[in-house]
Structure 1
């Protein structure tokens, strides 16, 4: 099967309403995800929750990498086909995400009802992961091939808006008005996405796009020429290396003597601004210069960020305190922005590879493999840092990321320019 037949048919006119829908869906996914992984952890730790419990809470994030297991079900069945196959899923899942957040606001102090709060957090993660399957499927089916580059920029860029709201703004609201105000504000932001969902009218799926069942429906995309090297080789290496480098930022800056509040501002808010710009720039670069050039540029930006971080994390570098802060901030921004540019090119190829009949399953499988690579990379980098120091771990992560870019560039879709 040629890869040129895998994406949505050419000629689809994507209006502004659809672009607004994608921005809303991908932003709200990461509002809750960032809150649970960053904001909630900070709030609970501030209240005295032990690190073991906080570590167990982080395990909820494993739901996202394994969501490919039920993605074929989302492709095959919908709660209300008359309202649009994937839209009907959004009409159910988006309110459930809101309700899960509002249920958290029932409790005045999260410390007093931690067990129930963890259950509600697990429910939210499940709802948001499933919502992501439906949103990805809408992207595959609703975007023309010529729009995949810009669509990838929206997917990646919206995640950083959600990260700023859920990881940064939520903490500011918590400091000013308390727990309930923070959670209700996040619920209102998540509910706002219902407006474009209600206005969206999803085209009926053609009969020729019948979904394969069983393993063919779940893993059939890997049979596409070049897909195995891409999905099982290049992409996991890029995400492994990038996550490895990023995982070092917070602990290294802590050991360098930075305050937790400033580190949180740098990683959750300051670095998110250039990352958002990088996502939008990456989409346009893919369109004008090609995905291969975009990946190389992203790798270069990430390497520059790593070079800036090296004197901060390397023991005995002898960097003065006044120079350490700007180097650390620029380094963190560069590492995240570079990965964002690369990720935009990766998502654009993933949109091309996904088959319309298995839109949710295919794109979800590709992104899940990348997430697993990132999870292993973050663990490996911290383990290596404990054994050989931050400097060696930083060089290792950057080298793996560059190796992934080299493997990815061998894929023919990377040479494509819209």
Structure 2
């Protein structure tokens, strides 16, 4: 079990370092240049590969790279490409070549999203049902640790050594985190005889969508993280408006808040096993939704650092628990063979990635709307609307999936 968790922690940490750095640094840079909230909100189109990656997940399920394993091979290739494009960004003059930076950032998100497909497939194949609570806590924690490095540590480093050397360090870290993957020996079972390509491409999607309550579940995925993405996108511009420095934002949001998310994710992993997936989704989701309203405090003009720390730590702790519960529930929705727990999951990447993509679609839409809403209603109105979106997802869960929780007792 320990070796599984170490591998998953390394994989999920690595892919989040450069993308978190980009998505958190650039909005701050844009706001410091007095760019509008609308423009910052639309920067979320960079997350588009995460929303659309289900389109190429069947290829990763179907094909493998010779001599490198199956999903392991894809991870190695995409992580190296991610390190290369990150290294290249180090030599871009971001003030005079901003469009070039945006293109490179889009490529970084494309490679990271593609790597995530293979990583999720390995996670589904490795973890037994009774390991998924703690396994998804490690996944969530790995994501957050990567965000701490990319969105906190490197943000502070950026203040010290500048853009060029910060990006070079990130690319080297990406290569170092490949070591556990290179040491991992993937078991590649022989797949059944390949069917018609078009049939095999569409069949996993058809199978997933024809399951009971598939459409209500997809609605939950669109809404559940949408509120968090909406509020998170505007939080950094808000703190810039409140006069916080690059280092202060990096320490508060990139280190302290994310560190709390790791702890809360681990706590959630234990509680999910006792409460059940659906009960956890409802309880943690409701708590996180209500906590989002605390952001109204800085929106109303408060800039006292201890208060801002208390607010962001509280909100991030509860959001981390809700996110972990969602990941566990999503893994349960993947195709798992009944005959043997070690049997090969032929559509593991597609089943999980389809759900992740739907979550990302909701997140991209919410993030892009956040700037427009904040411009129209102010930060306070936007935070209220983001909380309402999250609460709506909890109501859908309660309406359509509560019976599952009751029957599981």
Same-fold status (TM-score > 0.5):
yes
Return the alpha-carbon distance in structure 1 between the equivalents of residues 295 and 283 of structure 2.
Answer: 19
What is residue 177 of structure 1 aligned with on the other side? 161
Describe the shift of the 1:313–1:41 C-alpha distance in structure 2 as closer, same or farther (beyond 3 A): closer
Q: Does 1:222 align with 2:209?
A: yes
Find 1:140's aligned residue among 106, 121, 124: 124
Using the TM superposition, give the Cα deviation of residue 150 of structure 1 relative to its aligned residue in structure 2, in angstroms: 1.5
What is residue 391 of structure 2 aligned with on the other side? 402
What is residue 221 of structure 2 aligned with on the other side? 235
What is residue 343 of structure 1 aligned with on the other side? 323
Q: Which moved more, 1:365-374 or 1:332-341?
A: 332-341
Using the TM superposition, give the Cα deviation of residue 326 of structure 1 relative to its aligned residue in structure 2, in angstroms: 3.6
2:188 counterpart SS class:
coil
Q: Assess if the C-alpha contact under 8 Å between 1:234 and 1:408 holds in 2.
A: yes
Return the alpha-carbon distance in structure 1 between the equivalents of residues 150 and 215 of structure 2.
Answer: 35
What is residue 213 of structure 1 aligned with on the other side? 200
Describe the shift of the 1:171–1:326 C-alpha distance in structure 2 as closer, same or farther (beyond 3 A): closer
2:212 counterpart SS class:
coil
Using the TM superposition, give the Cα deviation of residue 58 of structure 1 relative to its aligned residue in structure 2, in angstroms: 4.7
Q: Does 1:292 align with 2:272?
A: no
What is residue 182 of structure 2 aligned with on the other side? 198
Number of residue pairs the alignment of both structures matches: 394
Aligned pairs for 1:249-288 within 5 A: 249-256=235-242, 258-259=244-245, 261-288=247-274
Q: Assess if the C-alpha contact under 8 Å between 2:17 and 2:149 holds in 1.
A: yes
1:79-113, CA deviations, whole angstroms, 9 ceiling, x for partnerless residues? 22x432111112222222222222333x2744455
Using the TM superposition, give the Cα deviation of residue 413 of structure 1 relative to its aligned residue in structure 2, in angstroms: 5.7
Aligned pairs for 1:54-65 within 5 A: 58-65=44-51
Q: Does 1:391 align with 2:369?
A: no
What is residue 332 of structure 1 aligned with on the other side? 312
Using the TM superposition, give the Cα deviation of residue 416 of structure 1 relative to its aligned residue in structure 2, in angstroms: 8.4
> Is there any run of 5+ residues in structure 1 with no aligned partner, and where?
1-14
Calculate the TM-score normalised by the size of structure 2. 0.85
> Is there any run of 5+ residues in structure 2 with no aligned partner, and where?
336-344
Describe the shift of the 1:414–1:329 C-alpha distance in structure 2 as closer, same or farther (beyond 3 A): farther
1:202 counterpart SS class:
coil
What is residue 373 of structure 1 aligned with on the other side? 362
Q: Assess if the C-alpha contact under 8 Å between 1:301 and 1:337 holds in 2.
A: no
Return the alpha-carbon distance in structure 2 between the equivalents of residues 379 and 179 of structure 1.
Answer: 26
Using the TM superposition, give the Cα deviation of residue 272 of structure 1 relative to its aligned residue in structure 2, in angstroms: 0.9
1:214 counterpart SS class:
helix
Describe the shift of the 1:349–1:90 C-alpha distance in structure 2 as closer, same or farther (beyond 3 A): same
Q: Does 1:66 align with 2:52?
A: yes
Using the TM superposition, give the Cα deviation of residue 348 of structure 1 relative to its aligned residue in structure 2, in angstroms: 0.7
Find 1:161's aligned residue among 135, 139, 145: 145
Q: Which moved more, 1:385-394 or 1:82-91?
A: 385-394
Describe the shift of the 1:93–1:416 C-alpha distance in structure 2 as closer, same or farther (beyond 3 A): farther
Q: Does 1:310 align with 2:296?
A: yes
Using the TM superposition, give the Cα deviation of residue 283 of structure 1 relative to its aligned residue in structure 2, in angstroms: 1.3
1:84 counterpart SS class:
coil
Q: Assess if the C-alpha contact under 8 Å between 2:287 and 2:318 holds in 1.
A: yes
Describe the shift of the 1:292–1:210 C-alpha distance in structure 2 as closer, same or farther (beyond 3 A): farther
Describe the shift of the 1:303–1:209 C-alpha distance in structure 2 as closer, same or farther (beyond 3 A): farther
What is residue 11 of structure 1 aligned with on the other side? none
Q: Assess if the C-alpha contact under 8 Å between 1:308 and 1:330 holds in 2.
A: no
What is residue 75 of structure 2 aligned with on the other side? 90
Aligned pairs for 1:111-126 within 5 A: 111=95, 114-126=98-110
Return the alpha-carbon distance in structure 2 between the equivalents of residues 351 and 18 of structure 1.
Answer: 16
Return the alpha-carbon distance in structure 1 between the equivalents of residues 364 and 190 of structure 2.
Answer: 37
1:357 counterpart SS class:
coil
Q: Assess if the C-alpha contact under 8 Å between 1:149 and 1:348 holds in 2.
A: yes
What is residue 9 of structure 1 aligned with on the other side? none
Q: Assess if the C-alpha contact under 8 Å between 1:136 and 1:364 holds in 2.
A: yes
Describe the shift of the 1:210–1:398 C-alpha distance in structure 2 as closer, same or farther (beyond 3 A): farther
Q: Assess if the C-alpha contact under 8 Å between 1:291 and 1:416 holds in 2.
A: no
Q: Which moved more, 1:160-169 or 1:34-43?
A: 34-43
Q: Which moved more, 1:180-189 or 1:371-380?
A: 371-380
